[in-house]
Amino acid sequence: MLSALAALAVLLAPVAGLVALMMALEARQRARDAAAARQIQLTDAIHAELGAVVAPVVEKRAFQPWRVVFAVSEPRRRDVGRLLEITDRVLGNQLHDVQIVFRRPLAA
């Protein structure tokens, strides 16, 4: 009886490992999809109000708060306040902890 249970456990261990791996991959994909959806939502709101002035990057890393990164050029620095308002309105009711980062655009 005990050897039958041990054999069953040995046979089911790889299946359980594969199921756990698939569940982890699915959770990671759901997190990527959520970040992409929020990024699209925020980009659409910014473009509707200000035009195509900046494209935010929304990201979520494990065990860290959500983060929104704006690459704002010198002539667009006056829009920072509006970008904060739009971000708060769009993401503020969905997310309780958001870091907003403004940086200079990378040189092309």
Ordered by where they begin, the domains of the chain are: 2-103 (3.30.300.30)
Question: Rounded distance, CA 23 to CA 68, Å?
Answer: 27
**How does pLDDT run along the chain (108 residues), one tens digit per residue?**
888 888 888 889 999 999 999 999 999 999 999 999 999 999 999 999 988 888 899 998 888 889 999 998 888 888 899 999 999 999 887 777 888 999 988 776
Pairing between strand 66-71 and 98-103? parallel
Residue length, the chain?
108
Q: Are 58 and 67 in contact (CB under 8 A)?
A: yes
Q: What's the pTM value of the predicted model, to 2 decimals?
A: 0.77
H-run or E-run covering 36: helix 2-50
**Helix residue spans in 51-99 (DSSP H):** 80-91
